[in-house]
Structure 1
Amino acid sequence: MIRWIWVFLDRPAQRFDDCAKFWSTVTGTQLSPRRGPDDEFLTLLPDPALFAAASVKMQAVTGLGGVHLDFDVDDIPAAVRTALDLGAELVANHPDYAVLRSPSGQTFCLTPSGRAMSTPAPAVPAPDGTLSRLDQVCLDIGAADYEVETRFWSLLTGWTSQPGGRPEFARLRPAQPLPAQLLLQRLGENRSTSAHVDLAAQDIEATAAWHESLGATVLRRHEHWIVLSDPSDAHYCVTARDPNGV
């Protein structure tokens, strides 16, 4: 059983400080002290007065970066065996965590439970009062791999599968309150699976405008979501979903 989910924003080292400031602002969090052998890690910490657990971390990386997930579980070796039986590839097996890849290439980690078991952070008000919340990771899956990846993530998480608002989407929702759900998107091309984050927003235009003022760039507008890039050119979406929803 997945006890907690961590959203890891992997961002290029040369733009990491700008990205950390940006994501701290839009998530209403404070930056933890840097840690790791090269000071490459930090956590976005909610206001202690909210009594909410952190759920977003950042890592400075070489290359373009991206998004990966950490799943806190009670028994890492058992979870690794399950993932391998479902078609995952073991990348690294450390004493206290394991790094794996899904059948078509999305990196994730299995990590020890007990680090965070609390209420997910609430929606964040922009200066104009508009609420938004980083609450979803979208897995962008090549058309040929969609069925395999959908089965893999559904069985790995044990979460409830629901159809999306469009035929190319499906959603996996945890039964217990966790800070993020998964959206599975079937692409119109064949390539390795990757991931981006989505924010639920009361007003997607107002939220996108706020993000632009902080250094983001609007790339594409759709009826129910807007695609942007952050200060490192990593893509993410602001979507017309209830930011107070589970």
Structure 2
Amino acid sequence: MTHRSRLAGFIIDCQGGDHDAATTFWSCALGLPVTETYEEGQARYAELGEAPGGLHVEVQRVDHASRVHLDIESDDIDAEADRLEALGAKRIGFVKRWWVMEAPTGHRFCVVRLRDRAGASEPNTWD
């Protein structure tokens, strides 16, 4: 079955601490305005707008060590996870509505639902 995917953007994971201060730092450091903040359960998010190439950039409060990870978005997250597994990635777990994956290099990333974003590149089509 054919599905589509593309790089969605970058998520700045910040362990605990003051999420507002972390958001202010990254907003100022990257020159990207805060466009939305929200909470979902224990998680807290701040979206940074106007990123180059229509990329999605957000600051996320997490329990694990601070790091930056990327999101790949797809119109069929299970098919995309299957495709990435065939390339050597492994599924770590399903969280809320996305797959957490690990590349053969040890880097963690997520496969999330495809979103319509102004300025975003066209997704790749996979068979």
> C-alpha separation between the residues in 1 aligned to 2:73 and 2:95?
14
Runs of 4+ off more than 4 Å: none
Superposition deviation, residue 165 in structure 1? 6.5
Which of 100, 113, 116 matches 1:240? 113
Q: Does residue 183 of structure 1 match 2:55?
A: no
Q: Which amino acid aligns with 1:201?
A: S
Greater RCO structure (CA 8 Å; 6+ sep): 2
Partner residue in 2 for 1:170: 46
Listed as ranges, the matches of 1:114-153 within 5 Å are 128-153=1-26
Superposition deviation, residue 144 in structure 1? 0.9
> C-alpha separation between the residues in 2 aligned to 1:163 and 1:130?
30
> C-alpha separation between the residues in 2 aligned to 1:170 and 1:225?
18
> C-alpha separation between the residues in 2 aligned to 1:132 and 1:146?
30
Q: Residues 160 and 174 of structure 1 are in contact (CA less than 8 Å); yes or no, is this contact kept in structure 2?
A: no
Q: Which amino acid aligns with 2:4?
A: L
The one-character-per-residue Cα deviations of 1:146-192 (angstroms, maximum 9, x if unpaired) are 222101112232324212472512211217x5242212110135x5x
Q: Give ranges in structure 1 of 5+ residues lacking alignment.
A: 1-127
Say which structure is richer in strand.
Answer: 2
- Number of positions where the alignment pairs a residue of Structure 1 with one of Structure 2: 115
Q: Residues 135 and 181 of structure 1 are in contact (CA less than 8 Å); yes or no, is this contact kept in structure 2?
A: yes
Q: Give ranges in structure 2 of 5+ residues lacking alignment.
A: 119-127
What do you get for the CA RMSD once the two structures are aligned? 2.1
Q: Which has the larger radius of gyration?
A: 1
Q: Residues 154 and 161 of structure 1 are in contact (CA less than 8 Å); yes or no, is this contact kept in structure 2?
A: no
Partner residue in 1 for 2:32: 158
The one-character-per-residue Cα deviations of 1:194-219 (angstroms, maximum 9, x if unpaired) are 10100111111111011111111000
Q: Which amino acid aligns with 2:70?
A: V
> C-alpha separation between the residues in 2 aligned to 1:238 and 1:169?
17
| Alignment TM-score, normalising by the size of structure 2 | 0.78
